[in-house]
């Protein structure tokens, strides 16, 4: 694994894509692995930032993420699913109303179609449990009834995401999940 702190100094010479060359892109593609190596560090940094906000919830956003991942892991879910559970709300403090799509965009290149759908749509599926309290349509998830991943996503919300606001629950620490995060984001180039 390359050390992203030691990026090559070589740079492409174009000032617009229209004037770029095959040599420019060859150089860029040789360095893309360095950029990909930063994804796990960036994800872990964003997760740590979630510890600074509770948004009015009973636990911090980080603790919610840790509880969701811990519950999934304790239930025997595979590493990819556990990382999805950990990262599902990573965008909460970046774009609260659009947070599922931030997480799903990060995960799309490295997870299954089912896990990508689950993360991308979990916000709408979670709405079933509380949207009626805030004047929204709790049945909005019904638009996805024909999806082969409807039950999969519903199960994620019921078993792992929805109950993950318990101040007394003992979660695994973020450091426990760090190797899984690093492995998942390093998996594909």
Residues of the chain with pLDDT under 70: 1-8, 187-189
CA pair distance 42, 53, nearest whole angstrom: 18
pLDDT tens string 104-140: 999 999 999 999 999 999 999 999 999 999 999 999 9
| Whole-angstrom distance, CA of residue 156 vs CA of residue 119 | 9
pLDDT at 4: 47
pLDDT at 1: 44
Alpha carbon of residue 151 to chain centroid: 20
* pLDDT at residue 33, as a whole number: 81
Domains of the chain (ranges, CATH numbers): 46-186 (1.10.3210.10)
d(CA 59, CA 86): 15
pTM of the predicted structure, to 2 decimals: 0.89
């Amino acid at each position: 694994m390359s050390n992203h702190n030691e990026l090559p100094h070589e740079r492409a010479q174009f000032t617009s894509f229209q004037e770029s060359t095959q040599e420019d892109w060859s150089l860029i593609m040789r360095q893309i692995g360095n950029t990909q190596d930063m994804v796990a560090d960036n994800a872990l940094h964003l997760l740590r930032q979630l510890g600074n906000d509770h948004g009015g919830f009973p636990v911090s956003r980080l603790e919610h993420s840790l509880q969701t991942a811990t519950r999934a892991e304790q239930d025997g879910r595979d590493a990819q699913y556990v990382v999805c559970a950990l990262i599902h709300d990573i965008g909460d403090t970046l774009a609260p109303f659009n947070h599922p799509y931030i997480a799903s965009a990060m995960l799309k290149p490295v997870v299954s179609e089912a896990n990508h759908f689950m993360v991308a749509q979990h916000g709408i599926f979670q709405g079933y449990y509380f949207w009626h309290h805030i004047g929204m349509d709790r049945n909005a998830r019904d638009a996805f009834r024909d999806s082969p991943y409807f039950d999969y996503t519903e199960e994620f919300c019921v078993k792992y995401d929805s109950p993950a606001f318990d101040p007394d629950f003992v979660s695994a620490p973020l450091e426990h999940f760090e190797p899984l995060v690093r492995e998942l984001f390093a998996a594909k180039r």
